[in-house]
Chain A
Amino acid sequence: DQQVKQNSPSLSVQEGRISILNCDYTNSMFDYFLWYKKYPAEGPTFLISISSIKDKNEDGRFTVFLNKSAKHLSLHIVPSQPGDSAVYFCAQTGTYKYIFGTGTRLKVLA
């Protein structure tokens, strides 16, 4: 059974500091990972992705790290800003099937 887990339901970080959001997966068959951000009353929006052929992908303040041996990926936001406060979902996919984690609510404190 393919599962994607986000074990921290919430995280609070001071503005300007680093936010680290974590995600674990069980099935290595699907080899593409994505992070989405979701504000209340809106749909999720794509943030950043990584293929299993890489171990790091960077886009501005956002970096995703993939540790295939540990079946773990993380999203780093540096520096964190109040506008980053949202729910973050990781997802795993390989074809049409996208498996989402349960989300981590990030609160960036001003």
Chain B
Amino acid sequence: NAGVTQTPKFQVLKTGQSMTLQCAQDMNHNSMYWYRQDPGMGLRLIYYSASEGTTDKGEVPNGYNVSRLNKREFSLRLESAAPSQTSVYFCASSESAGLVYEQYFGPGTRLTVT
């Protein structure tokens, strides 16, 4: 039982390049989330998926797109990377849509955009 896994762990992009961050969970959770963490700030929600087949914007969605590929996988895409997107990205999952459960986080992807 690996929990929440993220790939890659590290990535360096040039401005304008695109990439997809992958996330998978093996806990059969319905809800999945993408956050970014910047120095001096808490985790900020980019997008979430309450259940398979649905996605919604969070607090800071601009410049990102997501795909809930199936119940296990939730990817985050940067179409044209900008230096402001340099951050640590965390994927998380939780038990059930509409109810409050603790989230389980992946180890993070450290992204640098030059």
Contacts and interface: CB of A to CB of B under 8 A. Distances in A.
Contacts, number: 55
B58 A97 contact: yes
B108 A41 contact: yes
A108 to B, nearest CB: 22
Interface string B98-110: 1010111111100
Interface in A80-94: 89, 91, 93-94
A42 B107 contact: yes
Interface residues of A, number: 24
Given A41-B108, A42-B107, A43-B108, A97 B102 contact: no
Interface residues of B, number: 26
A74 B29 CA distance: 29
B31 A96 contact: yes
Contacts of B50: 96
